Structure formats: C-alpha cells, structure tokens
Amino acid sequence: MKHITIADIAREAGVSKATVSRVLSKSNLVSEKTANRISSVIEKYSYIPNVLAQGLAGKPTRNIGVIVDEFPNNFYIDLADGIDKVVSANNYTFQVMSSQWEPERELEGVHSMLKSRVDGLLITPVSCDSPAVLELKKSGIPFVLINSKSEDPDVSYVCCDNYKGGALLAEHVNSLGHEQVIIVSVFDHETVRDRIRGFEDTLRAGALPVIRYANAKTYNDGYELAPTVAEYGSITEKKTSLFVTNDYVAIGFITRFLEMGISIPRQAAVAGFDDIRLSSICRVPLTSVSQSVCEMGRTAAEYLLNLIKKSSRFPFRKLIDPHLVIRESTKM
C-alpha cells in the first residue's frame, strides 16, 4: 500500500507541489479558492505529509526526547503526565527511553535520540556529569536536566530543592525530641545526598551515624532491612526517629516494624521523602516531604520548548519548593 505524496495531491488538484506545501503550513499566500480545493483533495485522500521528508527539508520535527532512569517507579508516572500536558498542548510529540541507571545505556539513548533528530531533550541523568550530559552539550541540541542540578552555567535544569526538603524534615524531627535519630540512605544519587545534607545540617546534635544502604530501592528492600536497623539502633530501648530517604522503602520499613511489634510512631517515628500516592493510604500514613513531580515535568518541558523556540538563550534553572506533609507516622 503506497503512501500518497504531496505530488499526488498537487496533480489531483491541478497545482504545484509548492502550493500544496503552502496550505500545509498554513501560509496565507494562497488564494482562498485554491486553498479550499487543495484542502478537499487532502481530505479525500486523507493525506498525511511525511514528517521524515519535512524534517529532512529543514523543518523542526516537533518531537522531543525524554530519557528517564527507569519506568517502574512512581516518579516516572507523574513526570510523564506533566511532560505530556505541555508537550501535547504545543503540538509536539515525545519519545522515551530508559537508562536503567547505566551510564552507557544512557549515552546510547542520547545517541539514538540525536539520530532521530529530536528538537530537544529532557533527561533525568544518572549523574549531572555523566557522559550522556557531556555528549548533549557537545551536540548543541537544547536540553533540560530533570531531578539533577549542574554547576555548569550553560545547562538548564529543574530539580527539587532537596537540601531544603531535608532541612524541613529535620526541623520537624527536632520538635519530636527523640533520643536518637537514624538516617537510612537508600540509594546513591545526588538528590539523596542533598536530602541528607539538609537533614544533618539542620538536625540538633545526637543523631546516629547515617546508615548507608545502596540499592535499597524497593518496598521489599526496606522490609528486609528493617530488622537490621532495629537491632543496630536498639530501637526497642530508645525512642527513635527514622528518616528513610525514599517513601517506598520507608513503607517497607513500617510494615516490617509493625510485624515485629514495634509501634509506629510511639516507639519509632518514621519519615520518608517524595510523598508518593501510597504514603497517604498505607497502613500508617507516612510523614513525607512532597515534591511535585508533575510540576517538575511541566516546568522542564516548558523550559525546553522555550529553548527550542530560542525565546531565550539563557539557561533556565529552577529549584522546586518542597513542603512537609505530616501524617500519623510521626504524630506523637
């Protein structure tokens, strides 16, 4: 089944390809009469111009690339939603890839996107100086980092103010007046480090050293880790505040604690970060720091479109303001 082309339309309408092209791009240098005639032919054959050819001939593809770390986390849903809202409203499309947290895969993703001539790129980079980001800079294509900051004055980003989020939480924890504080760092990423820095800087003295636990990304990981932490911190003896740097994992902790007979928040107060949907619905609703991921997606997409339109040549940088949501898991 052969695709019909602009030439077919032109022939049928008895005009030149150029004229058809003009009505396609809504140029008003065409008499209304011929424009109508052409339009009806286009209708008749339900002709759809070939974007590849258009792109090759110099028009922007109106397609942007999105590279995320992985799909199956709550972050991506909201992000996609936010991006979709502005992208589709502006008649752009987007294609997605996942890096699976692997820098090489991320780089491949960038190459693949570049190959297909996206007009711009949104990326939640594995790290702010991963090869992919460097490659993007070299390429000269507009791009915006999401959930990552950059020292480089030329790169745009949208990120939650994780430092502040950590600080907010620490203030709350301070007010709880517990005998000890345990921090579980579940994942090694710049955003997580910021959360912890903000938390530690604001916390009154007396915190236990941070427990680092790489790759505790899931509910199950938290569930598994809970007994170790309980023992390490002698939670049954000292009133404890526990800060887990990620909600999903925090909920795993809570579930296990309850099973172990540790009462939340009486014996141990637990707080998370991200304020995912689950957090308000789970067994003991979780105190958490909320960052609007959907807004992040929206903002980043808007920035990117601006960069593409060259409405501004300056990079955009935005720290989204987090806020604290106090729920039962820390209510004394």
Q: Return the residue matching tokens 């004055």.
A: 153
Residue from 5, 90, 100, 112 binding DNA (CB under 7 A): 5
Interface positions, 294-323, toward a copy of itself (CB under 8 A): 294
What amino acid occupies position 210?
V
Task: Rule CB under 7 A: say whether 205 interacts with DNA.
Answer: no
What amino acid occupies position 188?
D
Residues 261, 245: Cα–Cα separation, whole Å: 23
**Residue 18 Cβ vs DNA, minimum distance, rounded to whole Å:** 3
Contact 249, 218 (CB under 8 A): yes
Tokens of 250: 């925090």
3-state secondary structure of 271: strand
User: How far is residue 108 from each of residues 88, 99, 149, 193, measured CA to CA in Å?
Assistant: 26, 9, 22, 27
**Residue 100 Cβ vs a copy of itself, minimum distance, rounded to whole Å:** 9
Task: Rule CB under 8 A: say whether 291 interacts with a copy of itself.
Answer: no
Interface positions, 9-68, toward DNA (CB under 7 A): 14-22, 24-25, 29-31, 33-35, 49-50, 53-54, 56-59
Nearest to 243 by CA among 279, 276, 268: 268
Task: Rule CB under 8 A: say whether 289 interacts with a copy of itself.
Answer: no
Interface positions, 205-244, toward a copy of itself (CB under 8 A): 219
Residues 1, 15: Cα–Cα separation, whole Å: 25
Q: Which residues of the shown chain bind DNA in the complex (CB under 7 A)? A: 2-3, 5-7, 14-22, 24-25, 29-31, 33-35, 49-50, 53-54, 56-59
Q: Which residues of the shown chain bind a copy of itself in the complex (CB under 8 A)? A: 1, 46, 48-53, 55-56, 61, 63, 70-74, 76-78, 80-81, 84, 88, 93-98, 111-117, 135, 138-140, 219, 251, 255, 277-278, 281-283, 294
